[in-house]
Chains A and B, each alone.
Chain A
Amino acid sequence: MVLLLQYTLLFASVLILVALGGCFSEHSGVINLGLEGIMVMGALGGALTLKVISPELPAIVIVLAVLLASTVCGVVYSMLLAFACINFKADQTLVGTALNMLAAAAATVIVKTINIAENPDNVSSTVQYVASKKALVVSIGSFQFNWFMLVALLALIAAYVILYKTRFGLRLMACGEHPQAADSVGINVYTMRWAGVLISGMLAGIGGIVYITAGVSEWKFENGVAGFGFLALAVMIFGQWKPVNIGLAALLFGFFRALSNVYSGFDFLAALNIPSSVYNMMPYIISLAVLAFTSANSRAPKAEGIPYDKGSR
Chain B
Amino acid sequence: MARNNKIEKESFLSKPAIQSIMASLLCIVIGLLIGYIALLIINPVGATEAIITIIKNYFTYPSKAAALKYLGNTLVKASPLLMCALSIQFCYQAGLFNIGAAGQYVAGAGASLFCALSLGLPWYVCLVAALLAGGIFGVIVGLLKAYLNVNEVISGIMLNWIGLYTVNMLLGGVKEVSSPYTLSIANTNPGALIPSLGLEKLFSNNKYVTIAIPLSVIIAIILKIVLSKTVFGYEIKATGIAKDAAKYSGMKEKKNVIVTLFIGGALAGLGAAFLFLTGYEQWSVTQSSVPGMGFNGIAATFLGGLDPIGTIFASYFIQHITSGGSYLDKNVYPSQISDFISSIIIYLCGFVLFFKFFLNGRIRANKERKEGGNK
Contact = CB atoms under 8 A, between A and B. Distances in A.
Nearest to A95: B350
Contact of A288 (B159, B340, B342, B343): B159
Interface in A53-95: 80, 84-85, 88-91, 93-95
Contact of B295 (A90, A101, A108, A277): A101
Interface residues of A, number: 52
Interface stretch (A168-176, A208-216, A229-237): A229-237
Contacts of B159: 284, 288
Interface in A108-136: 108-109, 112-113, 116, 120-121, 123, 125
Interface of B is mostly: helix
B157 interface: yes
Nearest to B287: A223
Contacts of A227: 157-158, 160-161
Contact of A277 (B153, B157, B166, B330): B166
Interface stretch (B142-150, B192-200, B227-235): B142-150
A252 interface: no
The interface centre, meaning the residue of A121, A227, A278 with most chain B CB atoms within 10 A of its CB, is: A227
Contact of B154 (A125, A234, A278): A234
A292 to B, nearest CB: 5
B288 A223 contact: yes
B354 interface: yes
Closest A-B pairs by Cβ, 8 of them: A90-B350, A112-B334, A105-B339, A102-B343, A101-B343, A98-B347, A98-B346, A105-B340
Contact of B351 (A88, A102, A109): A88
B155 interface: yes
Given A277-B168, A291-B154, A291-B155, A95 B161 contact: no
B169 A120 contact: no
Interface in B151-208: 151, 153-155, 157-162, 165-166, 168-169
Interface in A229-287: 230, 233-234, 237, 275, 277-278, 280-281, 284-285, 287
Contacts of B169: 275, 277-278
Interface string B329-366: 01110101101101110110111011000000000000
Contact of B165 (A84, A123, A280, A292): A280
Nearest to A281: B165
Interface of A is mostly: helix
B334 A109 contact: yes
B218 interface: no
Given A98-B349, A226-B289, A291-B151, 15 more contacts: A88-B350, A91-B350, A98-B343, A101-B346, A105-B336, A109-B334, A116-B334, A125-B334, A288-B150, A288-B162, A291-B150, A292-B148, A295-B150, A296-B148, A296-B149
A47 interface: no
A120 B339 contact: no
B334 A113 contact: yes
B354 A95 contact: no
Contacts of A237: 151, 154
Contacts of B346: 94, 97-98, 101-102
A116 B332 contact: yes
